[in-house]
Structure 1
Amino acid sequence: MELTKFVDELPTIPTLKPNAILNGVPYYEVTMLQCHQQLHRDLPPTTIWGYNGMYPGPTIEAFSHQLIRVCWKNQLPTKHFLPVDKTVHGAEPPNPEVRTVVHLHGGATPDYSDGYPEAWFTNDFQQVGPYFVTKTYDYPNLQPSTALWYHDHAVGITRLNIYAGLSGFYLIRDTQEQMLNLPRGNYEVPLLVQDRSFNEDGSLYYPCEPEEPVEGVCPSVVPEFFGDTILVNGKVWPYLDVEPRRYRFRLLNASNSRFYNFSLSSNQFFYQIGSDQGLLEQPVMTKEILLGPAERADIIVDFSTQFGNTITLQNSAPSPFPGGDPPNPETTGLILQIRVIRPLCSLDQSTIPYYLTYMPTLSENLASKNRLLSLDMAKDAYGREIHLLDNKRWADPITECPKLGTYEVWSFINTTEDAHPIHIHLVRFQVLDRQPYNVDVYQQTDEIVTTGSKIPPPLNERGWKDTVIANPGEITRVIFAVGPFSGLYVWHCHILEHEDHEMMLPYIVIK
C-alpha cells in the first residue's frame, strides 16, 4: 500500500496531569485500552493499544528528586490482535495471551517498580505473573534532567505490545536545565520514531512467521521486524510547520529493530546537547546522529536562516544494522518534513550554551569487577536461530550479582553479525571504548585476540547512557556505579524480537 507523504501534521503529544496529590506526592492513573486511531489521512482508523487509549501514550513530566506514583491499569481484551508465538519462553500455555507490565526505560527505580518481565498482569489483575506484582509504581526520579520513555515489557510478547502502541515519553526536569535558556514550550518537540506496516484495511501488519517457515510452528517469532513506513508521534510521514528560529527536538528511536542514522536534507548541523541519560558536558555539532532501538538524542536545530524552505529529516541506516540493505530513499529513508513557513512570533532569545553540565569521567580503576559477557547465536528447539547473552537463556541460573555501591566494567563481546543495542536496567553508564578482535579465535578457544587499538566513543556518546550499540566483531566496554537500589533487574538487547526470543537475562544487585 502506497501512502502519500507529508499530508498529516505532526501530532502534539499531550502532557499527563496528576489525578490527585496524595500526601504531597503526585498520583497518576494510566489505563491501557484498545482503541482506533487514524495514523494517516488515507488509512481507515487502525486498531491500536494505547496508554489512556492514545498512541503514543501521554507524556509524563516529573521534577528531579520528586517522587511520583503511577497506577497502571490493564483494560485490554483477552485476545491479542497480533500473532502470538506460544513456543516463545513466557508466552507458552497456560500463560494468558494478553499480559502487560510497564517499564520506565532509563529510570532508577526500586525493583518492584521496574517492570520486571515476569511481573505481568492481565485485565483488572485477574491473573498475575510469577514475580511480585504491584498496581502502583514508585518513581523517585533520582536523576538530572533527561528524556526517558515508558513501554510494555511483558516476557515473550514485548515486541507485539510495543508494536501495538504501548509506548510514551517520560521527561525529567531540573533547575539546571531551566537556567540554560534552551528552546522551550512550543519550541521543544518530542519525536517518537517507529516503523510500521499496514494491511489494505488499515490494520497493523506484523508477520506471523519468518521468511523460511518453521515446521509445526505458526505463528512463529521472526528474527527482526522492519516496517515499510515511518511514523513520528503516531502519524505516518508527518510534516511540522516551524518558525525561523531554534528548536529543541527530543529524538527517540522506539522501533522494534530498525536503526536510524538521522540527517537533514538542508545539510545543516544538529547541535546535540544530550543523550540517553541527560545533558552532555558541551554541545556537539554533527550532521548525522545514529540511534539504535531505545536510544535517545537531545538536539537543537537552528532554522533562523531557512525561512521559506522545506527540510526533510532523513534516515540512511541499513536494516539489519550494519550489514543489511540501505533504506529506500522514497520510503524508509524519509522520516519527517519540516516546513519553515510560520512567521516569527517573537524574538528568539534561546541560546545554545557553550557549557551544559559537569560530566565526571569514570576511570576503569574504580571498578572492582570486569565482566566479560558474550553476545552469541544458537539454535532453539525448533531449529530457529536465536541470539543469546553470554550463551545463556532466561531460565538459566543467575550469574551476574553486582554489589550495591561498587563500580563494574561490563565488556560486551559481540560474536554475531548484528549490532545489538544493549540496555541495562537501573543503572546509567559511560562508554569506555570499543575494540576489534578476532571472532574466530574467540569462538574456538575463548581467547581474546585484539586486532586493533581501543576506539574511544564519539563526542556525542560521552555522556550518561543506558543503552549502547555493541558492534559486530568488537568488544564494547561500559562502566557504571551499581545502584542506587538493590534487587532483581534485567539486561537485554533492545531489538525487541531478540529480547523476546531469549536475548535477555536477569541480574541481582546485592547489598
Structure 2
Amino acid sequence: MALEKFVDSLPIMETAKPTHVDDKGAHYEIEMKEFTQKLHRDLKPTQLFGYNCQYPGPTIHAQRHQPVHVKWINNLPDRHFLPIDKSIHHLDMEPEVRTVVHLHGAETKADSDGYPEAWYTRGFEQKGPLFEREIYEYPNEQRAATLWYHDHAMGITRLNVYAGLEGLYLLHDKAEDRLRLPSGDYDIPLLIQDRTFNEDDGSLFYPRQPNNPGPNFPDPCIVPFFGGNTILVNGKVWPYLEVEPRKYRFRLLNGSNSRGYTLFLDNEQTFYQIASDGGLLRRTVPLTEFEFEPAERIEVIIDFSKHAGKTITLKNNLGPNADPENPIADIMQFRVTLPLKGSDRSRIPKHLSTIPCLRQNDVTKIRNLKLNGGVDHIGRALLLLDNRFWHDPITENPMLGATELWNIINVTNFAHPVHIHLIQFQVLGHQAFDLSLYNETGEIQLIGPMIPPKENERGWKDTIAAPAGQITKLICRFAPYAGLYVWHCHILEHEDYDMMRPMRVVDPTDDTPSPIPPDHGHNPDNDNGTPIERPRPNPPIDHDH
C-alpha cells in the first residue's frame, strides 16, 4: 500500500490527568483497551490496543521528588488480534492477552518494575506467578529524563507493543529548568516506529511465520526480526510539523520493535544533542547524523531561525547501497511556515550538567556476558544471553550499592541494544575482536585499541548498542533498590525468544525472602523427578538484518 507522505500533521499526545493529588503524590488510573484510530488520511481506522484509547498513550508529566502512583487497568479482550506463538514459554497454558507495564529508564522498586511474569488479565482476573500489586509506585528521585512506559508481558511483548501499548513519561526538575532550554509548545516528543498495514482494510500486518519456515515450525511462529515498510511518528504515518523560525527541543524515542535508524536533516544542518536515556549530557554535542537503536532516547535542539519558509525533511540514512525508492528513508517533515510569536529567549548551552564518573568507584565484580545466536531444536532462530535461557537459574546477583563492570561480548553478526532494568550505567568503550576466528575456534582475539565511547554516549544510559564483533564495556552501580529485575536485548523479537535474563539485586542486610521465579532457582524436573536438560542452541545462524 503506497501511502502518500507528509499529508497529516504531527499529533502531540494528550497529557495524562491524575485522579487526585495528595501528600503521597499524584494518582492516576490508566486503562488499556482495544479501539480504532485513524493513522493516515487514506487509511481506514486501524484496530489497536492502547492506553486510555490513545496510540501512543497519554504523556505523564512528573516532577523530581514527587511520587506518582498508577493503576494500570487491563480492560482488553480475551483474544489477541496479532498471531501468538504458543510454543514458547508455555504460552499454550496461559491466557492469550496478558499485560504488565514497565516504566523504561525509571529507578523503581522491584514490585513496580513490570517483571515479565507479574502479568495480569482483564480486571486482574488471572495473575502471573510474580504478580505483587495493582498500583505501581514511581518515586521520581532520579534526575530529569525522557522515560517511556510500555508493555512487558512474558513472551508477547513484541505483539503488545506493536499493537500500540506504549507512551511517554517525562520527568522534570529545577536544574533543567534553569538552563532556559526550549520549553512549552517548543518542547516536542517524537516517538518513531515502523509498521506495515494490510492493503484491504488498513489493519496492522504482523507475520505469522518467518520467511521460508521449516517443516516443524508452529503456526503461528515467532520471527527473529520484523521491520515495517511504513514510518509513524506519534502514531501518524509520515507526518509534517509546522514550526516557527526559532529553536525547538525534540525528545526522540525509537519505539520500533527491531529497527534502528541513522537520522539526519536533508539540508545538512546541525542537531545539538543535549540529553540521552538518563537525562542531560555533561555538554552539548553538535551532530549532523546519529544512530538510534530501539528503546534509546536522544534529545536535540534544532534551530530553525535561519530557515523561514523552508521545508526540511528528517531522513533515515540507509547506507550507500540502499534503494533510493525505499520508503523508510523518510521520517517526517518540518515546515518553517508559522510566524514567530515573540522573541526566542531559549538557549543552546555549552555546559549542561555534572555527571559523577563511576570509574572512581571500587569495582567488586567483572562479568563477561556473551550475546549468542543459534537455532533451536526445530531450526527456529534462537537468541540468548550468555548461552542461557530465561528459565535457567539466575546468574546475575549484584549486591545492592555495588559497582560492577559488565563486558557485553557480541559473538553474533549484528548489533543488539542491551537494556538493564533499575539502573543508569556508563559506557567505558568498545573493544573489537576477530569474530571470524571466534566462530572457528571459540577464541576471543582482540583487535587494536579500545574504541572510546562516542561523545553522545558519555552520559547516563539504560540502553546501549552492542556492535557485532565487539566487547561493549559498561560500568554499573546497582542501586537504589534490591529485588528481582531483568536485563535483555531490546529488539523485542529477541527479548521474547529468548534474549532476556532475570537479575536479582541482593541486599545483604535484608533477611526478608524475595519472590522466587518459577524454574529459576533450580532445574525443572520431569514427571519422574529427573532434571530436564535444556538443549543449547546450535552454531550461529546467518541472521544479518
Judge conservation of contact 1:101–1:117 (CA < 8 Å) in 2.
yes
Q: Distance in 2 between matches of 1:392 and 1:326?
A: 36
Q: Indicate the residue corresponding to 1:246 in structure 2.
A: 247
Judge conservation of contact 1:109–1:140 (CA < 8 Å) in 2.
yes
Q: Indicate the residue corresponding to 1:173 in structure 2.
A: 172
Q: Indicate the residue corresponding to 1:97 in structure 2.
A: 96
Judge conservation of contact 2:191–2:233 (CA < 8 Å) in 1.
yes
Alpha-carbon offset, residue 360 of structure 1? 1.9
Q: Distance in 2 between matches of 1:101 and 1:133?
A: 11
Per-residue CA distance 1:66-112 (angstroms, 9 max, x = gap): 1110000000000000000101225x221011100000001100000
Q: Indicate the residue corresponding to 2:290 in structure 1.
A: 289
Q: Indicate the residue corresponding to 2:528 in structure 1.
A: none
Within a 5 Å distance, the mapping from 1:264-283 to structure 2 comes to 264-283=265-284
Q: Indicate the residue corresponding to 2:312 in structure 1.
A: 311
Q: Indicate the residue corresponding to 1:434 in structure 2.
A: 430
Alpha-carbon offset, residue 452 of structure 1? 1.3
Q: Indicate the residue corresponding to 1:209 in structure 2.
A: 209
Alpha-carbon offset, residue 329 of structure 1? 4.7
Per-residue CA distance 1:170-202 (angstroms, 9 max, x = gap): 000000011110000110100000000000211
Q: Indicate the residue corresponding to 1:119 in structure 2.
A: 118
Q: Distance in 2 between matches of 1:442 and 1:95?
A: 39
Query: Secondary structure of the residue that 1:368 maps to in structure 2?
Result: strand
1:374 to 370, 376, 396: 370
Q: Indicate the residue corresponding to 1:321 in structure 2.
A: none
Q: Distance in 1 between matches of 2:432 and 2:325?
A: 31
Question: For residue 485 of structure 2, what is the amino acid of its counterpart?
Answer: Y
Q: Distance in 1 between matches of 2:88 and 2:235?
A: 28
Question: For residue 77 of structure 2, what is the amino acid of its counterpart?
Answer: P
Q: Indicate the residue corresponding to 1:484 in structure 2.
A: 480
Judge conservation of contact 1:398–1:506 (CA < 8 Å) in 2.
yes
The answer to which of 145-154 and 59-68 deviates more is 59-68
Q: Distance in 2 between matches of 1:328 and 1:376?
A: 33
Q: Distance in 1 between matches of 2:45 and 2:272?
A: 37
Query: Does 2:148 match 1:152?
Result: no
Query: Secondary structure of the residue that 1:112 maps to in structure 2?
Result: helix
Question: For residue 208 of structure 1, what is the amino acid of its counterpart?
Answer: R
The answer to which of 176-185 and 436-445 deviates more is 436-445
The answer to which of 17-26 and 290-299 deviates more is 17-26
Q: Indicate the residue corresponding to 1:338 in structure 2.
A: 334
Identical counterparts, % of pairs: 54
Q: Distance in 2 between matches of 1:325 and 1:385?
A: 27
Q: Indicate the residue corresponding to 2:49 in structure 1.
A: 49
Within a 5 Å distance, the mapping from 1:124-143 to structure 2 comes to 124-143=123-142
Alpha-carbon offset, residue 447 of structure 1? 4.2
Judge conservation of contact 1:119–1:129 (CA < 8 Å) in 2.
yes
Q: Distance in 2 between matches of 1:153 and 1:357?
A: 32
Judge conservation of contact 2:263–2:317 (CA < 8 Å) in 1.
yes
Question: For residue 510 of structure 1, what is the amino acid of its counterpart?
Answer: V
Query: Secondary structure of the residue that 2:123 maps to in structure 1?
Result: helix
Alpha-carbon offset, residue 132 of structure 1? 2.6
Q: Indicate the residue corresponding to 1:423 in structure 2.
A: 419
Alpha-carbon offset, residue 56 of structure 1? 0.1
Judge conservation of contact 2:383–2:498 (CA < 8 Å) in 1.
yes
Alpha-carbon offset, residue 444 of structure 1? 5.8
Change (3 A) 1:24 1:270: same
Q: Indicate the residue corresponding to 1:299 in structure 2.
A: 300
Q: Distance in 2 between matches of 1:316 and 1:197?
A: 20
Judge conservation of contact 2:272–2:286 (CA < 8 Å) in 1.
yes
Query: Secondary structure of the residue that 1:137 maps to in structure 2?
Result: strand
Q: Distance in 1 between matches of 2:419 and 2:375?
A: 23
Q: Indicate the residue corresponding to 2:222 in structure 1.
A: 221
Query: Secondary structure of the residue that 1:332 maps to in structure 2?
Result: helix
Pairwise CA RMSD of aligned residues? 1.4
Query: Secondary structure of the residue that 1:182 maps to in structure 2?
Result: coil
Question: For residue 412 of structure 1, what is the amino acid of its counterpart?
Answer: I
Judge conservation of contact 1:89–1:502 (CA < 8 Å) in 2.
no
Q: Distance in 1 between matches of 2:405 and 2:29?
A: 38
Change (3 A) 1:291 1:242: same
Gaps of 5+ in 2: 508-545
Question: For residue 178 of structure 1, what is the amino acid of its counterpart?
Answer: D
Q: Distance in 2 between matches of 1:339 and 1:377?
A: 44
Per-residue CA distance 1:275-331 (angstroms, 9 max, x = gap): 00000011000001111000010100000000010000011146xxxxx98475551
Per-residue CA distance 1:331-365 (angstroms, 9 max, x = gap): 10100110000000011010011111012222176
Alpha-carbon offset, residue 25 of structure 1? 1.5
Across the two proteins, how many residue pairs are aligned to each other? 505
Q: Distance in 2 between matches of 1:47 and 1:30?
A: 19
Query: Secondary structure of the residue that 1:460 maps to in structure 2?
Result: helix
Question: For residue 463 of structure 2, what is the amino acid of its counterpart?
Answer: T
Alpha-carbon offset, residue 445 of structure 1? 5.6
Judge conservation of contact 2:24–2:67 (CA < 8 Å) in 1.
no
Q: Distance in 1 between matches of 2:141 and 2:382?
A: 36
Question: For residue 267 of structure 1, what is the amino acid of its counterpart?
Answer: E
Length-normalised TM-score, structure 1: 0.97
Change (3 A) 1:208 1:325: farther
Q: Indicate the residue corresponding to 1:359 in structure 2.
A: 355
Q: Indicate the residue corresponding to 1:20 in structure 2.
A: 20
Judge conservation of contact 2:429–2:450 (CA < 8 Å) in 1.
yes
Q: Indicate the residue corresponding to 1:163 in structure 2.
A: 162
Length-normalised TM-score, structure 2: 0.91
Query: Secondary structure of the residue that 1:76 maps to in structure 2?
Result: coil
Query: Does 2:233 match 1:232?
Result: yes
Judge conservation of contact 1:50–1:166 (CA < 8 Å) in 2.
yes
Q: Distance in 1 between matches of 2:328 and 2:352?
A: 34
Judge conservation of contact 2:483–2:504 (CA < 8 Å) in 1.
yes
Judge conservation of contact 1:7–1:41 (CA < 8 Å) in 2.
yes
Judge conservation of contact 2:361–2:403 (CA < 8 Å) in 1.
no
Judge conservation of contact 1:316–1:327 (CA < 8 Å) in 2.
no
Q: Distance in 2 between matches of 1:58 and 1:327?
A: 36
Judge conservation of contact 1:80–1:98 (CA < 8 Å) in 2.
yes
Change (3 A) 1:328 1:33: farther
Q: Indicate the residue corresponding to 2:392 in structure 1.
A: 396
Query: Secondary structure of the residue that 1:58 maps to in structure 2?
Result: coil
Gaps of 5+ in 1: 319-323
Change (3 A) 1:435 1:492: same
Q: Indicate the residue corresponding to 2:69 in structure 1.
A: 69
Question: For residue 97 of structure 1, what is the amino acid of its counterpart?
Answer: E
Q: Indicate the residue corresponding to 1:196 in structure 2.
A: 195
